[in-house]
Amino acid sequence: MFTDSWNLMNTSLKKSQWTTAHGRLPSAFRLLPSALCLVPSAFRLLPSAFCLLLSGCAGVQSSLDPAGPQADHIARIWWLMLFILSAIFVIVMALLALATWRRRASADNETELILKPEAGGESRMSTLVTTGVVITVFVLFILLISSFLTGRSLHSLAASNPQPLTIDITGQQWWWQVKYENDMPSQMVTTANEIHIPVGRIVQFKLKSNDVIHSFWVPNLHGKTDLIPGHVAATWIRADRPGIYRGQCAEFCGHQHAHMAFTVVVETEEQFKHWYDAQLLAAAQPANTQLARGQQVFMTSTCIMCHRIQGTDAGGAVGPDLTHVASRLTIAAGTLANTRDNLANWILDSQAIKPGNRMPPNPLNTEDLSALLDYLQSLK
Ligand code: CUA
């Protein structure tokens, strides 16, 4: 809207200059009155446009739709800055328009342009400049204080619970390894690209990387935290609203950075416990000959080199743990929904979907592929 009125203002200025110099209007300017008639109707649309804009703030990957205290602190300071800075923008534009208008009015009278110091003009100018400086410092001070308070609130969550649920996240090119810490190794859960957390519980994420810098970001829950090779970073969140939220790597980390997403499932304590207990189990053993054939295909192909299926000989750690792959919502780090067709295409030629990832093409025949898909889909 600002740009439009700015353009319109520019256009009408040029129009008056042009008319003075040449005494006629080019055809584009003859359309100006009709264009101006459209302005009131455009203004009538403003409320709907504003609502549309605000509705864009909601969603499963939005900092402005906070589902926990951390994201809420960040959203508040964002709105505060938006309102203050928008007000400054409007005021500055209004003053600019006023100055332009006054300059044009005084220029109409040529004799006024002769240099002649205006009585009291200098002291008025210095008052104006001082006021401007004071207001600027005051506004910057407000922003500084609110930014400091937000930072302090963000850290308060870490101190409020000495024994949070701790999840180790390792950034890989281009997926996320997820490990739930536990004093007993048999109670640790390893999964990939999907994090389940109970609603209302404080969760500590320990973040590291094995290759390049990534950044862990779930906009609905918290700001970004970088994963730096050779360093363990920590961040704390609490989700107060059950739901499924999308996280995204927020630091350019190579070819498939944009396809390095993950899912955070916030659920009740019972649902979480149910999920966790299921994840602790070893993979289901093949219940029929078709599934047994699928497992055989997995064990005798390149899959076994990179993936782990707990309870089998597959123990690779290059790619995601597949022990309960069928229980996940997406595959390929949030790139595809976890459907049979997507899984098939991914296995056959993942390079066509996510070029540069470390999984080679697997040209399987139809029967083997079908058996492998049956087997993978049985790993709930
Ligand atoms: Cu990992 Cu961008």
Q: Would you give the distance in Å from CA 47 to the centre of its chain?
A: 27
Residue range 140-144: mean pLDDT, rounded: 95
| Ligand 1 neighbourhood includes 224 CB (under 6 angstroms) | no
- What's the pLDDT at 246? 96
- CB-CB contact of 362 with 376 (8 Å): no
| Ligand 1 neighbourhood includes 249 CB (under 6 angstroms) | yes
Instruction: Indicate which residue's Cα is closest to atom 1 of ligand 1.
Output: 214
| Ligand 1 neighbourhood includes 293 CB (under 6 angstroms) | no
User: How close is the Cα of 266 to the center of ligand 1, in Å?
Assistant: 23
- What's the pLDDT at 21? 34
| Ligand 1 neighbourhood includes 252 CB (under 6 angstroms) | yes
User: How close is the Cα of 253 to the center of ligand 1, in Å?
Assistant: 4
Give every CB contact of residue 121 below 8 A, 6+ residues apart in sequence. none
The answer, yes or no, to whether residue 29 has pLDDT greater than 80, is no
Phi/psi at 93 (nearest 5 deg)? -65, -40
- Tens-place pLDDT, residues 129-141: 999 999 999 999 9
Buried b (16+ CB within 10 A) or exposed e, 137-166: eeeeeeeeeeeeebeebbeebeeeeeebbb
User: How close is the Cα of 32 to the center of ligand 1, in Å?
Assistant: 49
pTM, rounded to two decimals:
0.79
| Ligand 1 neighbourhood includes 259 CB (under 6 angstroms) | no
- What's the pLDDT at 17? 34
- Please compute Rg for the chain using Cα positions: 30
The full 3-state SS of the chain, as one line of letters, equals CHHHHHHHHHHHHHHHHHHHHHCCCCHHHHCHHHHHHHHHHHHHCHHHHHHHHHHCCCCCCCCCCCCCHHHHHHHHHHHHHHHHHHHHHHHHHHHHHHHHHHHHHHHCCHHHHCCCCCCCHHHHHHHHHHHHHHHHHHHHHHHHHHHHHHHHHHHHHHHHCCCCEEEEEEEECCEEEEEECCCCHHHCEEEECEEEEECCCEEEEEEEECCCCEEECCCCCCCCEEECECCCEEEEEECCCCEEEEEECCCCCCCCHHHCEEEEEEECHHHHHHHHHHHHCCCCCCCCHHHHHHHHHHHHCCHHHHCECCCCCCECCCCCCCCCHHHCCEECCCCEECCHHHHHHHHHHHHHHCCCCCCCCCCCCHHHHHHHHHHHHHCC
User: How close is the Cα of 206 to the center of ligand 1, in Å?
Assistant: 16
- What's the pLDDT at 10? 37
User: How close is the Cα of 212 to the center of ligand 1, in Å?
Assistant: 8
- Tens-place pLDDT, residues 187-240: 999 999 999 999 999 999 999 999 999 999 999 999 999 999 999 999 999 999
Mean pLDDT of the chain: 86
Q: Give the angle 315-318-323 at the CA atoms, nearest 5°.
A: 45
Kindly give the number of the ligand 1 atom that is closest to the alpha carbon of 258.
2
User: How close is the Cα of 339 to the center of ligand 1, in Å?
Assistant: 24
What percent of the chain lies above the pLDDT cut of 70? 82
The answer, yes or no, to whether residue 311 has pLDDT greater than 70, is yes
Kindly give the number of the ligand 1 atom that is closest to the alpha carbon of 253.
2
The answer, yes or no, to whether residue 11 has pLDDT greater than 80, is no
Kindly give the number of the ligand 1 atom that is closest to the alpha carbon of 171.
1
- Tens-place pLDDT, residues 246-255: 999 999 999 9
User: How close is the Cα of 332 to the center of ligand 1, in Å?
Assistant: 13
- What's the pLDDT at 318? 93
Buried b (16+ CB within 10 A) or exposed e, 12-43: eeeeeeeeeeeeeeeeebeeeeeeeeeeeeee
User: How close is the Cα of 335 to the center of ligand 1, in Å?
Assistant: 13
User: Residue 150: which pLDDT band, with cuts at 50, 70 and 90?
Assistant: very high
- Tens-place pLDDT, residues 91-116: 999 999 999 998 887 766 655 555 66
- What's the pLDDT at 347? 96
Q: Residue 175 and residue 214: Cα distance in Å, rounded?
A: 10
The answer, yes or no, to whether residue 20 has pLDDT greater than 50, is no
Kindly give the number of the ligand 1 atom that is closest to the alpha carbon of 214.
1
Give every CB contact of residue 299 below 8 A, 6+ residues apart in sequence. 312, 313, 314
- Tens-place pLDDT, residues 323-365: 999 999 999 999 999 999 999 999 999 999 999 999 999 999 9
| Ligand 1 neighbourhood includes 214 CB (under 6 angstroms) | yes
User: How close is the Cα of 256 to the center of ligand 1, in Å?
Assistant: 8
- CB-CB contact of 269 with 198 (8 Å): yes
| Ligand 1 neighbourhood includes 247 CB (under 6 angstroms) | no
- CB-CB contact of 356 with 254 (8 Å): yes
Residue type, 32: L
What percent of the chain lies above the pLDDT cut of 90? 73
| Ligand 1 neighbourhood includes 333 CB (under 6 angstroms) | no
| Ligand 1 neighbourhood includes 257 CB (under 6 angstroms) | yes
Cis, bond preceding 78 (omega within 30 deg of 0): no
The answer, yes or no, to whether residue 55 has pLDDT greater than 80, is no
